[in-house]
């Protein structure tokens, strides 16, 4: 059994090495919020699953990311308002807000770059994605906004809700000059 596992590991290593020599994994055009990324900044397909370059994707989605080595293993940390996620290349165990979780696919290293499954961004950062295999692209959407209700002149409650949610006819938020109440802090 031991010899068989060494042989399979050797075959897998030769396979990955031949892919690297032949020009890497297949590129998948990546579109993040309507901006296109190709070449070395593109996504890739590994065993039928979409993987995205971790640092580039996080930066474009406005998620802070930090790459480092810990105990000789490549580590990436993602920080957003929602979650802090730490994962290691080759490990399915991740840390989410201090708690251990397991993901079905481990991050991988390809050409000195960490790739993570797109599902990591979907599950922990609220990103939506769609993949079109025929046209060879994956789209990621970070700014999904809820639909606004139609406002009418006879709907003062709807207008107040719109104002409280940040909608207004001006770009600046101001104080009410008459009574010095900060509109942003009304509960």
74-98 pLDDT per residue, tens? 999 999 998 999 999 999 999 999 9
Which residue segment(s) compose the domain that 96 sits in?
A: 27-141
Which is nearest to 107 in space by CA: 118, 120, 116, 94? 116
Tell me if 151 is assigned to some domain: no
pLDDT at 47: 85
- Asked if residue 168 belongs to a domain, the reply is no
Using DSSP's 3-state secondary structure scheme, residue 67 falls into: strand
**Residue 81 belongs to a domain:** yes
Non-local CB neighbours of 6 within 8 Å, separated by 6+ positions? none
The string of pLDDT tens digits covering residues 125-166 is 989 888 888 888 888 887 655 445 455 555 555 555 554 555
Q: Is the residue at 101 inside a domain?
A: yes
Give me the helices (H) in 22-155, please: 54-60, 118-125
**DSSP letters spanning 134-152:** TTTEEEEE----PPPPPP-
Report yes or no on 43 lying in a domain. Answer: yes
Domain assignment present for 84: yes
CATH number at residue 36: 3.30.457.10
Q: Residue 135 falls within a domain, yes or no?
A: yes
Domain count, the chain: 1
Tell whether 61 is covered by a domain: yes
| Prediction pTM value | 0.62
């Amino acid at each position: 059994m031991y010899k068989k596992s060494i042989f399979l590991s050797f075959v897998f290593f030769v396979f990955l090495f031949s892919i690297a020599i032949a020009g890497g994994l297949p590129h998948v055009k990546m579109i993040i919020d309507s901006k296109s990324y190709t070449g070395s900044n593109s996504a890739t397909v590994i065993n039928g699953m979409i993987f995205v370059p971790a640092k580039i994707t996080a930066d474009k989605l406005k998620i802070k990311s930090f790459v480092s080595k810990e105990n000789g293993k490549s580590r990436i940390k993602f920080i957003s308002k929602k979650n802090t996620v730490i994962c290691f290349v080759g490990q399915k165990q991740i840390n989410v807000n201090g708690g251990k979780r397991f993901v079905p696919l481990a991050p991988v290293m390809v050409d000195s770059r960490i790739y993570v499954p797109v599902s990591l961004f979907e599950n922990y950062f609220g990103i939506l994605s769609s993949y079109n295999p025929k046209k060879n692209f994956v789209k990621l959407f970070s700014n999904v906004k809820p639909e606004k209700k139609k406002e009418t002149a006879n709907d003062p409650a709807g207008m107040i809700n719109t104002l409280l949610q940040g909608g207004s006819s001006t770009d600046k938020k101001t104080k009410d000059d008459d009574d010095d109440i900060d509109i942003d802090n009304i509960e």
